[in-house]
Chains A and B, each alone.
Chain A
Amino acid sequence: MKTRLPVNFLIGAVLVALVLGAAALSLVWTPHDFAQMNIKAKFGPASSTYWLGTDQLGRDVVSQLMAAARNSMTVALAAVLIGGSIGTALGLLASAIGGWVEDLVMRIADIGFAFPALLFAIMLAAVFGPSLTNAVLAISFINIPVFARVARASANQVWTREYVAAAQAAGLNRAVISWDHILPNIGAAIIVQATIEFAVAILAEAALSYLGLGAQPPAPSWGRMLSEAQTLMYLAPQLAIYPGLCIVAAVLGFGLLGDGLRDITDPRLSRER
């Protein structure tokens, strides 16, 4: 393949690298302690000490953004892994068994699909109290039907391949075939979907934290930084703009990367769009 990498893939990869880099770096180093308050230095302007200034409590903005990136990535990763594994397993199962089992799983997926994530998170928070874990669970949950659909559709295609018939002719049962033959061959589709869902999860986490249903203080979160800055919009608009930009960069980055991966792995699909 000599074709050039698609532009969306390149831009996405750069943005994702920046966000992931910042999150990884925050594990070992931030310019300041993100929680360290310094009332004397509140609403500080950008300077050589505080690169993007300080917030209403005098905390370093850059350090908070970096730590929030880590929080955001962790939540998205956990949610996509949990929701993705369960959803993919259900999709594989539906495809392997077929018949009424497949119908049932897909009808349930349809219902889950139609159910707004935020509503579900609010319900969870109402019942179990707001927490990051509940936010992760809520986002995981909305990922299940998404992955179940993608996995089933791709798996159904792979089941028609001749090598699957050959495996059946060799007496392998459907469970073994699903694991050894179907799963590896739907891997590309799952990874593409996971990348796109990563973007969705970042946005969902930001929204939940904005509503106070996600990360609880003092844990940093772009969504909560945004909501705290909202009341200070006239005083210090930059405090809302920075986390907002971070959310946009992360969501756009993973979204473009996912689209780009799709273009690379399945050119036919992207041309149809």
Chain B
Amino acid sequence: MIELQDFSVSFKSGTALRQASLAIRPGDRTGIVGESGSGKTMLAMSLMGMAPAAADLSGKLVLDGRDMTGADDRGWEALRARKVAMIFQEPMTALNPLRRVGDTVMDPLRLHLGLSKAEARARALALFEEVGIPSPVERLRQFPHELSGGQRQRVVIALALACDPELLIADEPTTALDANVALRIIDLLVRLAEERQMALLFISHDLAAVARATRDIVVMYGGDIVERGPTAEVLTTPRHPYTQGLLGARPNPVAEPRGADGKRPRLPTIPGSVPTLQDLPSGCRFSGRCPVELPVCAGTRPGSTLISATRLANCHALKQEVSA
């Protein structure tokens, strides 16, 4: 349905996304994890045709068989909301503070589906009900500051669902919410994806959230996709050294107890820090921080190694291990 082939996003300062290949089919639920700055948002924005104007894009982006690589804003505007929609991390800032939330949700309905005001309102009302907003009639007329964080995020979800997108991208949709609300939002997203046969691309720092929401997972580091496979397998038996570091000593993040603050622990820290874009090594992005690094790693980019029928990882050491 939507496919990236060797897609790269580069800035003057460096490459934020390097030759990413990713295919999403109808009904897929895919997670993306990785430390801050690993290019998760860049990947998501690329799928919406919303990479920053300053960026150089290369590679191929195919949407429903159409090559969107050189498409301009106008070409994308017609597809956003209907093919691909996105919900954002911070529900407070993702809604215009001076606009009634009902109007915000009705905008794409009127624009893309050509509904009259009354039709759009009825549809917005149904959407509010679908995403579980209580007393939706009154809510339509309210401003964002009158709603709680969880309700705002539901409004953002309703907005994204307005034109029945085939793919919903959720970029850290629960990071700003407290734990119980986050859980309910995740379950809502999963339910909606299943009911609507909609693909879900779920980006998060929270491995437990990804485990709950997705069937497949993509692990990113330094702008590279380093490992991918079924979520449960990758999280229980990570094979790439970076994924292993990310999971730390926690083989099963789903069973991890919550901390005193009620939140699950964030990703454990890997020794060292993510280099800035300029300082990323040209070979394996993880070289320099990798505990099992080989001499070849810093200069040569590792290719994909097939671990099983459904799992891939990009690592020199792993390749030797598997072929041995």
Task: Please list the residues of chain A having a beta carbon within 8 angstroms of any beta carbon in chain B.
Answer: 98, 161-163, 165-174, 176, 180-181, 184-185, 187
Nearest chain-A residue to B112 (Cβ)?
Answer: A171
Alpha-carbon separation in the docked complex, A181 to B108 (Å) = 14
A-side binding surface: helix, strand, loop or mixed? helix
Closest 5 pairs (CB-CB, A-B): A171-B80, A171-B81, A162-B93, A170-B108, A169-B86
Contacting pair B99 A184 (CB below 8 A):
yes
Please name all residues of chain B whose beta carbon is closer than 8 Å to the beta carbon of A181 when the two chains form the complex: 96, 99
Q: How far is the CB of A27 from chain B (nearest CB, A)?
A: 34
Partner of A162 from B73, B82, B88 at Cβ < 8 Å? B88
Partner of A161 from B48, B93, B111, B156 at Cβ < 8 Å? B93
Please name all residues of chain A whose beta carbon is closer than 8 Å to the beta carbon of B107 when the two chains form the complex: 167, 170, 172, 176, 180
Q: Which of A163, A170, A184 has the most CB of B within 10 A?
A: A170
Contacting pair B111 A169 (CB below 8 A):
no
Contacting pair B73 A173 (CB below 8 A):
yes
Q: Which of A161, A166, A169, A180 has the most CB of B within 10 A?
A: A169
A-B contacts besides A168-B48, A170-B159, 14 pairs, CB < 8 Å: A163-B95, A166-B156, A166-B159, A167-B107, A169-B48, A169-B80, A170-B108, A170-B160, A171-B76, A171-B111, A172-B108, A173-B74, A176-B111, A180-B107
Alpha-carbon separation in the docked complex, A165 to B50 (Å) = 8
- B133 in the interface (beta carbon within 8 A): no
Contacting pair B95 A171 (CB below 8 A):
no
Please name all residues of chain B whose beta carbon is closer than 8 Å to the beta carbon of A185 when the two chains form the complex: 96-98
Alpha-carbon separation in the docked complex, A162 to B159 (Å) = 14
Q: List 18 A-B contacts (CB under 8 A).
A: A162-B93, A163-B93, A165-B50, A165-B88, A166-B95, A166-B159, A167-B96, A167-B107, A169-B86, A170-B80, A170-B81, A170-B107, A170-B108, A171-B76, A172-B107, A173-B74, A180-B96, A184-B98
Q: How far is the CB of B237 from chain A (nearest CB, A)?
A: 35
